[in-house]
Amino acid sequence: MRPVQLRHDMPYASRRSPVLAKNMVATSQPLAAQAGLRMLLAGGNAVDAALATAIALTVLEPTGNGLGSDAFAILWDGERLHGLNASGRSPAGWSPDRFPNGMAERGWESVTVPGAVSAWVALSDRFGELPFADLFAPAIGYASEGFPVSPVIAALWKRAERTLSHQPGFSDHFLPGGRAPAAGEIFRSPDMAASLAAIAESRGEAFYRGALARRIADFARAHGAVLDEDDLAAHEADWCGTVSATYGDVALHEIPPNGQGIAACMALGMTRHLGLERYAPDDPVALHLQIEAMKLALADAEAYVADEAAMTEVTARDLLDEGYLAARAALIDPARAQDFGAGAPRHGGTVYLTAADASGMMVSYIQSNYAGFGSGVVVPGTGISLQNRGLGFVTTPGHPNRVGPRKRPFHTIIPGFLMRGDAPLMSFGVMGGPMQAQGHLQMTLRTQVWGQDPQTAADAPRWRFVSGRTVAIEDSLGTAALDALGGLGHAIEVEAPDASFGFGGAQLIHRIEGGWAGGSDPRKDGQVVGY
């Protein structure tokens, strides 16, 4: 595998250069990145920085996450790798009979128990250095005093005016004056500031077993939903370890199911048999082979991935079996695109962040509402916007991901982590529903097979498998390569990078001699900061 090369020739159009430092935070909103940097400067570690960033993002980027989100993390503590699953479960009152017309996309019937607050508590309790309440200071300040809305977030916010204005509590909280705030306008949320303070003071108890839990449950009952105080009180985040696949001397680690991270591992395991090293990173054949491997991985994820407790016939171990991946790779025709039968993944709304400190600690962390603002439901007087992760279930009889009581749904959000031997190499993520596993594969190969630095890898043109033989590709790839992929049988949908935000937003921190190199996606408002 090639060592990452810090480039000076800027091979792709970009507004950014890689950031080099000994302590670092990267995320999709600059003020949130700086909230994490404040913790590092105050003597905190990478976990403290990651948590302050995550908490601030609930205020600063509500188009992708909130207090009612789920979260996952992969953490290198200096000696070991840890995985945390803080996704919530369905209410005890859910059953397939409740959804005769399929899973709801919005509203209360899409709301599962939020897990992000439990992630903050679990990570701080086990690995944090600073007092838990200190991590909330930047977020509370932005919520109470206000902040100027950044451009990409403003564009996403604007889209929600029409689709979510009728959802309970949404307009009152997120559409002040009857509209979304424009870029540069100040948005304040005193209600959210009060909720954050209550969570900080109670170490999360107010959210799951206190006053905030009662307000969530009361609002649910008022709208005929079954989510109640017992569902919230029963929630627990789980230290779950990781699943992994190798390419050369590098291992990609992902959170085990119920998430789609295993699809990234499967695709990477298949590409190991396809000889990608023979090609340049943007060679149409290299892209074709990656796309075909990803199709196969996503087909399996759609068929088999669920709450791990429900994966009784086909397990994660079965999906990552070396012989199985070699057999799947053998189905790929180097000269022809095929339809392996995977469905079209759904778009989502997510925030991702990563932090690393001078001691060597690294955190890969992701937090999400799912579809933009999530369910659209906002609990009055609290600023708590609730996710719509229930949409991740299916109603198909016999499917391991069939909706049921107290069950985790299939999740799109995944933090990524690379190891070389026993040493951490890169913490990274690519937010954005269907892009995430696909983006993890692309970032891993670009940095490790082709030696691109984190910013170059983030700047590079991306592809996104849609369904059948259809692939969306950014127009920056160039006409010749697009035509060549079409000649291989791919049905190409050419998109500008900002056309639908469908190519996600990457944030990466890579180990280099003496410190870290970071990259932040130019498709987002984000930033890498360090010292």
Q: What is the token pair recorded at 1?
A: 């595998």
Q: What is the token pair recorded at 137?
A: 């200071």
436 close to 504: Cβ distance less than 8 angstroms: yes
Sheet holding 349-356, edge to edge: 238-239, 81-86, 70-76, 362-370, 349-356, 24-27, 527-530
CA distances from 58 to 170, 184, 230 (A): 15, 18, 25
Separation of CA 496 from chain center = 22
Strands (E), 105-184: 147-148
Q: What is the token pair recorded at 18?
A: 């890689």
412 is catalytic: no
Tell me which residue of 362, 309, 408, 412 sits closest to 123, measured CA to CA: 362
180 close to 157: Cβ distance less than 8 angstroms: yes
Show the DSSP H helices in 42-150 as ranges: 46-60, 116-127, 137-145
Q: Which of 27, 53, 58, 350 is catalytic?
A: 350
431 close to 505: Cβ distance less than 8 angstroms: yes
452 close to 281: Cβ distance less than 8 angstroms: yes
Q: Which residues are catalytic?
A: 350
